[in-house]
């Protein structure tokens, strides 16, 4: 199987005792879809005022031969807020694009300082690794 094969989610902030505080693992062909549903469930108890709950996410991608793990932090907001950070693919795509082509991200491109920082702080090694993961995510892996 290629693409996203496993997603592990652990909510780092939230209401003690809430079932969404438990670490959850989603694997197989529906890992991404099930992880997005779990992020949505987390968002139902996130603050409604625009604040967020830190949520740790480990995403495993496969090119059909080798697996790659990417660790991310999602800032999960209530689902009714703008940009609630509830989509694994969208989060991963935006983050990897920041490393590979920050000028294509409107919120980075409009701020010259942020764009310069993104370009200067990303090494060639990080850029190549991010591009490899983007290719896997977009189904552009060698057959």
Residuewise pLDDT in 10s, the chain (143 residues): 789 999 999 999 988 888 999 999 999 999 999 999 999 999 999 999 999 999 999 999 999 999 999 999 999 999 999 999 999 999 999 999 999 999 999 999 999 999 999 999 999 999 999 999 999 999 987 65
What is the distance between the alpha carbons of residues 54 and 14, in angstroms, rounded to a whole number?
Answer: 8
Q: Which residues 6+ apart lie within 8 Å of 19 measured at CB? A: none
Structure tokens at 137: 């995510």
Do the Cβ atoms of 72 and 15 come closer than 8 Å? no
Kindly report the backbone phi and psi dihedral angles of residue 140, in degrees, each rounded to the nearest multiple of 5, phi listed first: -100, 60
Q: pLDDT at position 34, please?
A: 98
Residue 114 pLDDT: 95
Residue the block writes with tokens 């807020």: 81
What distance in Å separates the CA atoms of residue 80 and residue 48, rounded to the nearest whole number?
Answer: 7
Q: What is the pTM of this model?
A: 0.92
Cα atoms found within 13 Å of the Cα of residue 73, Cβ hemisphere only: 6
Q: Which residue has the tokens 């438990």?
A: 22
């Amino acid at each position: 199987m290629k693409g996203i094969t496993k997603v592990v989610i652990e909510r780092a902030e939230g209401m003690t005792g809430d079932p969404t505080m438990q670490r959850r693992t989603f694997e197989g062909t529906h890992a991404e879809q099930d992880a997005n549903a779990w992020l949505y469930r987390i968002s139902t108890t996130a603050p409604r005022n625009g604040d967020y709950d830190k949520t740790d996410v480990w995403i495993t991608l496969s090119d059909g031969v080798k697996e790659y793990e990417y660790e991310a932090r999602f800032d999960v907001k209530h689902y009714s807020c703008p940009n609630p950070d509830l989509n694994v693919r969208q989060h991963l795509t935006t983050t990897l694009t920041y490393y590979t082509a920050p000028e294509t991200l409107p919120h980075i491109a409009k701020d010259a300082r942020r764009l310069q920082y993104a370009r200067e702080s990303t090494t060639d090694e990080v850029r190549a690794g991010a591009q490899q993961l983007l290719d896997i995510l977009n189904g552009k892996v060698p057959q």
